[in-house]
Amino acid sequence: MKAAVLHTLGGIPRYEDFPDPVPNGPDEILIDIKAASVKNIDRGRAMGSHYDKYVKLPIVVGIDGVGYTEDGKRVYTGFGEGAIAEKTIVNRKRCIPLSDGIDDVTAAALPNPGLSAWFSLSYRAAMKPGDKVLILGATGITGKIAVQLARYFGASSVVATGRNEKQLQSLPALGADVVISLAQSEEDLKNALKAEAAKAPFDIVIDYVWGRPAELVLDMLSGHDLNAEPHRTRYVQVGNMAGANITLNAGILRSAAIELYGVGGGSIPKEVMRTVPGEILPKLVDLVVTGKLKMDIYTAPLSDVENAWQLGDVDGKRLVITMD
């Protein structure tokens, strides 16, 4: 079969022949893949910078995709291996039937960022109607979905930040009440954040950037006063596009009611994950089908995976590799 094959960590997956996968046991099934998305986790694993690193090479990249079982059922399969290929082997428990209302490409692009944003807001932050939400890095694929889901869950206000000015200005149409550039000076950024917090304190922060922006936000949330009025803020860390580490003054956590959480593989309990096939993913699909949730997507054929991989997400559009 043809596949996107990685030979060295830090390299670029290449379009080439790879042995057909073979099921090993009754729980494994063969899937003919039609579309598979390329995400930050895929690139991070290929670079060797993600905590879930590849340990055996060469390997076919990709963790999820849309395809057909041998008996003709169209399914989404996630949290597997080797999805960016004509065929892959998955555990049958990781296959979720898809409705006819969503096409292969959108179905491949939606689950990873959609579930991440859903878990961050609904599960980790325990969002409720009326909460005020700050999203750091809202111009990325998942950030834009988080803006829309925050509005769907009933946010009183959604404050969105990002560096990409073009994408930043598109966010009000998706539900952002206020947009703040991360490209401005630190002093101006702090003043803009403080001005928004003065109107009403933030209940939730969803952070896709970490690094220096996170330090500024956490400092802004601090009381800096023994008699400060406490306000519970759920801070959910999801990505680290601005840096993997921060310096956190211990006094910040002592002087404010900040709760720090993380969302990623290994952080969501199994009982929550069990609700994905029958509850969460169907809701996300319905939101897309009914036009309440929008994603920007562009496609490239498997034969052009090397060039497409290097381009990545362009203008806020998620890359999906097709097998046609």
CATH number for the domain whose boundaries are 2-110+295-322: 3.90.180.10
How many Cβ atoms sit within 10 Å of the Cβ of residue 115?
Answer: 20
Q: What is the pLDDT of residues 233-251, one digit of tens each?
A: 999 999 999 999 999 999 9
pLDDT, mean of residues 218-230: 80
Question: Rounded distance, CA 89 to CA 71, Å?
Answer: 14
Q: How many CA atoms lie within 13 A of 181 on its CB side?
A: 10
Write down the pLDDT at residue 53. 82
Highest mean pLDDT: which of 48-52, 94-98, 109-113? 109-113
Write down the pLDDT at residue 226. 67
- What residues does each domain of the chain span? 2-110+295-322, 113-262
Write down the pLDDT at residue 227. 67
Amino acid at 125: A
Whole-number Cα distances in Å, 273 to 65, 132, 148, 276, 308: 18, 26, 22, 5, 31
Name the band, by pLDDT with cuts 50, 70 and 90, for residue 100: confident
Whole-structure pTM value: 0.92
State the fold for domain 113-262.
Rossmann fold (3.40.50)
CA distance between the termini of the chain: 13
- Which DSSP state fits 174? G
Q: What is the pLDDT of residues 20-51, one digit of tens each?
A: 999 988 899 999 999 999 998 899 999 998 88
- Written as one string, the DSSP assignment of 60-120 is E--S-EEEEETTS-EEEE-S-S--SBSEEEEEGGGEEE--TTS-HHHHHHSHHHHHHHHII
